[in-house]
C-alpha cells in the first residue's frame, strides 16, 4: 500500500479469458512476454492502435501463437486489467485492514485516494485500459466487480468503525464511493494537473464527509 505498481503487474491467480492454460515452461514465458509487449505497445500508442500483428512481432512469435493463448485482442487487455485490479485490491485491503476508528479510516482512505491518483498519473497502460473500459461489455463487468469487491472491503472497515450503522447502507454507499473514485480519476487525468489535483481533493472531501455522516 505504499509503492507504485510495476509496469507489468506480476502474474496473478486465475488469468481471465485464456484460451488454454500454458503448461510447459516455454509457453508460460511466452504468455508473460506477450503481456509485457502488449503493455509497452499500449503505453506507446494506446490499446486501440495496438495491432495483434505488432504484439506478435514484438514478442518474436507468430500471430498463430498469439491466438493460441489469447482468444482475441480484448482478452489481452482484460488480463492486464485483471492484474492491475488485483494489485489495487490488495493495496486497498492492506490499507484498510487495520482501521479501527474514524480517524484512522479517514486518514487511510485519504491516503488511498492519493495513491490511486498517483498510479493513474504514472501508468499510461492503466489510464488507457480504464479509459476504454466502458467500450467493452466484458471490461465493464470486470470494472463493476472490482468496485464491488473493493466496496465490500470498505464497508467492512466502516462497520468496524461504526458498528451501529446499517449494513446494507454501508455496502451501497461504499460500492458507490469506489465507482465514483474511478470516475474521479478519469476526470482528473483528462484535465490539466492543477485542476486534476483540485478535483481529486474535492472528491476526497465529499467522501470523507459521507463516511462521517454514516
Partner DNA sequence: TGCAAATGTGAGGATTCCTCATATTAATTG
Partner DNA sequence: CAATTAATATGAGGAATCCTCACATTTGCA
Task: Report the residue number, 122 or 169, with the smaller CB distance to a second copy.
Answer: 169
CB 43 within 8 A of CB 102: no
Please report, as residue ranges, which positions from 65 to 84 form the binding site for DNA (by CB under 7 A).
65, 67-68, 71-74
Identify the CA nearest to 42 among candidates 7, 17, 94, 82: 7
> What are the b/e assignments for 41-63, b being 16+ CB within 10 Å?
bbbeebbeebeeebbbebbebee
Contact flag: residue 210 with a second copy (CB under 8 A): yes
How many residues touch a second copy (CB under 8 A)? Answer: 33
Member of 132, 138, 152, 160 binding a second copy (CB under 8 A): 132
Which of a second copy, DNA, none sits in contact with 7, Cβ below 5 to 8 A by type? none
* DSSP letters for 152-187: HHHHHHHHHH-TTS-HHHHHHHHHHHHHHHHHHHHH
134-142: long-range contacts, CB 8 A cutoff, minimum separation 24: 136/74, 136/77, 136/78, 138/17, 138/74, 138/78, 139/74, 139/77, 139/78, 139/81, 142/16, 142/78, 142/81, 142/82, 142/85
Structure letter (DSSP) for residue 133: G
- Closest CB 197 distance from a second copy, rounded Å: 10
Contact flag: residue 109 with a second copy (CB under 8 A): no
Member of 121, 131, 138, 208 binding a second copy (CB under 8 A): 131
- Closest CB 30 distance from DNA, rounded Å: 5
Contact flag: residue 199 with a second copy (CB under 8 A): yes
Contact flag: residue 11 with DNA (CB under 7 A): no
Which of a second copy, DNA, none sits in contact with 2, Cβ below 5 to 8 A by type? none
Contact flag: residue 45 with DNA (CB under 7 A): no
Contact flag: residue 133 with a second copy (CB under 8 A): yes
Binding residues for DNA, rule: CB under 7 A, are 20, 22-27, 30, 50-53, 61-65, 67-68, 71-74
Amino acid at each position: 500500500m505504499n509503492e507504485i505498481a510495476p509496469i507489468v503487474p506480476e502474474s496473478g491467480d486465475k488469468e481471465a479469458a485464456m484460451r488454454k492454460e500454458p503448461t510447459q515452461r516455454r509457453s508460460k514465458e511466452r504468455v508473460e512476454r506477450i503481456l509485457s509487449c502488449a503493455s509497452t505497445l499500449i503505453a506507446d500508442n494506446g490499446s486501440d492502435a495496438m495491432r495483434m500483428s505488432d504484439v506478435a512481432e514484438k514478442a518474436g512469435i507468430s500471430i498463430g501463437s498469439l491466438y493460441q493463448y489469447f482468444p482475441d485482442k480484448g482478452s489481452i487487455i482484460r488480463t492486464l486489467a485483471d492484474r492491475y485490479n488485483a494489485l489495487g485490491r490488495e493495496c486497498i485491503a492492506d490499507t484498510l485492514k487495520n482501521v479501527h476508528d474514524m480517524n484512522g479510516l479517514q486518514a487511510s482512505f485519504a491516503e488511498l485516494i492519493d495513491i490511486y491518483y498517483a498510479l493513474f498519473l504514472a501508468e499510461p497502460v492503466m489510464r488507457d485500459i480504464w479509459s476504454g473500459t466502458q467500450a467493452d461489455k466484458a471490461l465493464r463487468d470486470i470494472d463493476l466487480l472490482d468496485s464491488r469487491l473493493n466496496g465490500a472491503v470498505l464497508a467492512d472497515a466502516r462497520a468496524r468503525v461504526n458498528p451501529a450503522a446499517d449494513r446494507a447502507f454501508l455496502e451501497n454507499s461504499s460500492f458507490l464511493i469506489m465507482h465514483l473514485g474511478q470516475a474521479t480519476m478519469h476526470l482528473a487525468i483528462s484535465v490539466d494537473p492543477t485542476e486534476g489535483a483540485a478535483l481529486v481533493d474535492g472528491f476526497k472531501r465529499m467522501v470523507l464527509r459521507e463516511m462521517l455522516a454514516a
